[in-house]
Amino acid sequence: MGDKRTDYISWDEYFMGVAYLAGMRSKDPHSQVGTCIVSEDNKILSIGYNGFPRGCSDDVFPWAREGAPLEKKYLYVTHSELNAILNYKGGSLEGAKLYVTLFPCNECAKAIIQSGIRTVIYDSDKYRDQESSIASRRMFDASGVRYYRYQRTGRKIEIQL
């Protein structure tokens, strides 16, 4: 019956890898975040990364994290999760899974819940103790959205383009 192949990647590795690859499209010099939304039967539905809305030039709008509110990125950037939700053109996301490289903020958590996504798999949780992340967890818990941290395998994958 031959040897069993073990060189393939798991679904979680695959979809988190896609999320990281999507994040590499972001021009944010401080934080490249990517999202991959997947159906219940493991089909990619949508992808997003953090960046400015259509028509808002990356060369005109600010990427700064310090300064007056209108001179910082925070009022302008669309997070990867919201971009992926808004990019989806196929109808309902009910029951979908969302892979994201950074745990969702409270605003993205609202969009995730309202869109019908039922599971969030995240990698980094560097803002865990901030009110935004605490609020996200409270809303996920209250609405029945399951969330868990991606379990890194240590596998190194190299792609030459």
Query: Which is nearest to 94 in space by CA: 148, 137, 45, 34?
Result: 45
Identify the CA nearest to 54 among candidates 93, 86, 92.
86
Contact status, residue 45 vs residue 37, Cβ threshold 8 Å: yes
Query: Residue 51: CB partners within 8 Å, gap ≥ 6?
Result: 25, 26, 27, 28, 58, 77, 78, 83
Q: How many Å apart are CA 126 and CA 118, to the nearest integer? A: 22
Catalytic positions: 81
